Structure 1
Amino acid sequence: MNLKQMEYFVAAAEQLNFTRAAKKCFISQTAMTLQIRSLEEKIGVPLFVRDKHHVELTAAGKVYLNEARAVLVRAEEAAKLARTAAEGVAGELTIGFIRGYEQSRFSETLRSFHEAYPNISIHLLRENMSALYELLDNGTCDLAFNLSLYTQNYEDLKHRFLKRFPMMAVLYPGHTLAGESHLMYRDLAREDFIIMQPQGRSNDEAEEVLICYNKGGFIPNIVAREREVQTVLLEVSAGFGVAILPEYAVRHYRNARNLVVVPLLRADGSPEELDFEIAWRQSNPNPAIEKLLQWVETHEYVE
């Protein structure tokens, strides 16, 4: 049996007249009769009692009518879902974001997108900077909100600039630099650093090493590597070392009694900043990616 045969049967059952049912379905009466007969043979029971002047449903036909209607409705719903998924209006989207970004207004971004596209199921992955690009590259992640240092290392990745975040030095109270209104990278050249990196990676793979070398001309002395912003800040407050973090990661700690957050400036007095972006793999076929990109482009991105 197939959906067409079900449609013909429902039409015949509702009309109780094969001629009118055939016209409704735009087929001949002979074709209607043959389709109903074929359906009955496949099911193994008669669905109609009929003669030249009368058509009515059998007990089996009445049961089958209810089920056939439900199947046809469900089939139409499935087709609609398939069409909306192909258009990116429904489906799944795995979004990565850099550790610490949960301190920002990222949840507001996710909420408003979810309100606009409630049928797109969102899954979140939180990782460090370079790991997010690897997750994009291997297809684990569809899009990533990330600092934009390493995009050029991945040929298939596309990226879109979102905004620039000021960089902050995070010190413990009593540190000799804690009273400064601002600092420069070179002021931290002799400090011990606590950074957000997985354990076991060499210094030349640490993003902070590249940033400190490019902006301050020194290789930082890394004394601890942590995965969570809260752990980094705890160790800084305990006097284990200092940290450099984007403003979004420390905005809720700027008035904390056990931490001192000092803006980093360039030699010309302008803020030290890092670009923040949304990145995706160009060859990823997920149509929901384009919906999020369109949404970000047409809504003011504020953090």
Structure 2
Amino acid sequence: MNIKTLEYFIKLAETLNFTKAANECFIVQTAMSRQISSLEEELGVILFKRDTRSVELTDVGKEFYWHALKMVADHAHALERINLVSQNHASSLRIGIGPYEQALLQPILKRFVSENPNTLILIEQYNYERLARYFQEGHYDMMVCINHCADRVRDSETKVVYNGPWGIICSTDNPLHRKEEIADSDLKDQTLINMSEYNINEYKADMTKRFATSKFIYVNSISGKLLLVGSNLGVAWIPEFISNQLPPDIKYFRMKSQVSRYFVCAYQPDRLTNPALEQLIQLM
């Protein structure tokens, strides 16, 4: 078994199409078939159900998929560690974050870097759906995210890093900005601007019930939220820890009734062999 064969297996498991998987791996279809058959023979199991019309993962194949992702990620991590040592870096950390977490992580990371100047920090930012998938595939030592994102990941441990209030933001051109505080009933008939990675139907049902509104706009970044709110196209939820970074034409209100959303750092226990990761978790 080699890494390249595992990569072929992963690609076929994700596409369920020999031709497409072969094209994306830049090999011919017959070579892809040989690699998969060789892997099945080596493991002594059937990974795919296949006939002339379809390809499906077997139950064993579904289980092996997660192990294959980890083996490929561990291989990449080992190569990275070797390169770091050759470049005189003591250690490295790969961290994934979602749309909000930059403001949450920055003061913690600033302290960590001051104490660990030879640790290489690599940061990637994605929406929560992609972030959870990449973390599950082993791309990161840690991800900092909203709780529902971490709930999607198997075999990870979490530590709460923020469990504070959320609030509503609106433009200073919106009549709501004159209020001292906002209740749920004040948002009736307001357009709610929301991140698109949530379950949209579930979100709409919840918000319609709570605020008696049926108008929604979906964006994929906090910048998109601020742009539309600042243009007075609607109101939006944000965690309070980013309220001090708002432009002057946007006002923040802490809601009378709170939402149960919080932020965590998530990590795989087997990555705790990296002392830099363990130290950063302690600072969270």
The normalised TM-score by structure 2 is 0.59
Structure 2 gaps of 5+ residues are: 1-80
In 1, Cα distance between equivalents of 2:146 and 2:208: 17
In 1, Cα distance between equivalents of 2:278 and 2:259: 27
Letter in 2 for 1:243: A
Letter in 1 for 2:215: N
Secondary structure at 2:186 match in 1: helix
Secondary structure at 1:139 match in 2: coil
Q: How big is the shift at 1:121?
A: 1.5
Q: How big is the shift at 1:231?
A: 2.9
Q: How big is the shift at 1:186?
A: 4.8
In 2, Cα distance between equivalents of 1:231 and 1:218: 24
2:239 to 246, 249, 259: 246
Tell me the equivalent position of 2:164. 165
Tell me the equivalent position of 1:231. 224
Per the alignment, do residues 209 and 156 of structure 1 end up closer, same or farther by CA in structure 2, a change over 3 Å counting? farther
Q: How big is the shift at 1:279?
A: 0.6
Secondary structure at 2:174 match in 1: coil
Per the alignment, do residues 157 and 225 of structure 1 end up closer, same or farther by CA in structure 2, a change over 3 Å counting? same
Secondary structure at 2:277 match in 1: helix
Per the alignment, do residues 249 and 240 of structure 1 end up closer, same or farther by CA in structure 2, a change over 3 Å counting? same
Tell me the equivalent position of 2:201. 204
Tell me the equivalent position of 1:54. none
In 1, Cα distance between equivalents of 2:110 and 2:124: 16
Tell me the equivalent position of 1:287. 273
- Asked if the contact 2:127/2:220 (under 8 Å) is kept, the reply is no
Tell me the equivalent position of 2:106. 107
Per the alignment, do residues 145 and 240 of structure 1 end up closer, same or farther by CA in structure 2, a change over 3 Å counting? same
- Asked if the contact 1:165/1:276 (under 8 Å) is kept, the reply is no
Secondary structure at 1:248 match in 2: helix
In 2, Cα distance between equivalents of 1:90 and 1:219: 53
Secondary structure at 2:217 match in 1: strand
Tell me the equivalent position of 2:215. 221
- Asked if the contact 1:166/1:272 (under 8 Å) is kept, the reply is yes
Tell me the equivalent position of 2:254. 263
Alpha-carbon displacement from aligned partner over 1:17-71 (angstroms, at most 9, x marks no partner)? xxxxxxxxxxxxxxxxxxxxxxxxxxxxxxxxxxxxxxxxxxxxxxxxxxxxxxx
Tell me the equivalent position of 1:23. none
Letter in 2 for 1:96: G
- Asked if the contact 2:95/2:122 (under 8 Å) is kept, the reply is yes
Root-mean-square deviation (CA, aligned residues, Å) is 3.2
Q: How big is the shift at 1:275?
A: 1.6
In 1, Cα distance between equivalents of 2:237 and 2:248: 18
Tell me the equivalent position of 1:275. 262
Percent of residue pairs bearing the same amino acid type? 17
Tell me the equivalent position of 1:143. 142
Structure 1 gaps of 5+ residues are: 1-80
Per the alignment, do residues 203 and 273 of structure 1 end up closer, same or farther by CA in structure 2, a change over 3 Å counting? closer
Q: How big is the shift at 1:294?
A: 3.6
Alpha-carbon displacement from aligned partner over 1:123-171 (angstroms, at most 9, x marks no partner)? 0011223332222111122211111124333331211112213112111
Secondary structure at 1:233 match in 2: helix
In 2, Cα distance between equivalents of 1:140 and 1:162: 21
Tell me the equivalent position of 2:123. 124
Q: How big is the shift at 1:240?
A: 1.3
- Please identify which structure carries the higher helix content: 2
Q: How big is the shift at 1:189?
A: 4.3
Letter in 1 for 2:180: S
In 2, Cα distance between equivalents of 1:293 and 1:220: 45
Per the alignment, do residues 291 and 107 of structure 1 end up closer, same or farther by CA in structure 2, a change over 3 Å counting? same
Based on CA coordinates, which of the two structures has the bigger radius of gyration? 1
- Asked if the contact 2:189/2:213 (under 8 Å) is kept, the reply is no
The normalised TM-score by structure 1 is 0.56
Secondary structure at 1:204 match in 2: helix
In 1, Cα distance between equivalents of 2:187 and 2:159: 32
In 2, Cα distance between equivalents of 1:292 and 1:285: 8
In 2, Cα distance between equivalents of 1:120 and 1:211: 44
- Asked if the contact 2:147/2:263 (under 8 Å) is kept, the reply is yes
In 2, Cα distance between equivalents of 1:131 and 1:189: 32
Secondary structure at 2:148 match in 1: coil
Letter in 2 for 1:203: I
In 2, Cα distance between equivalents of 1:265 and 1:145: 27
Q: How big is the shift at 1:202?
A: 6.2
In 2, Cα distance between equivalents of 1:293 and 1:184: 41
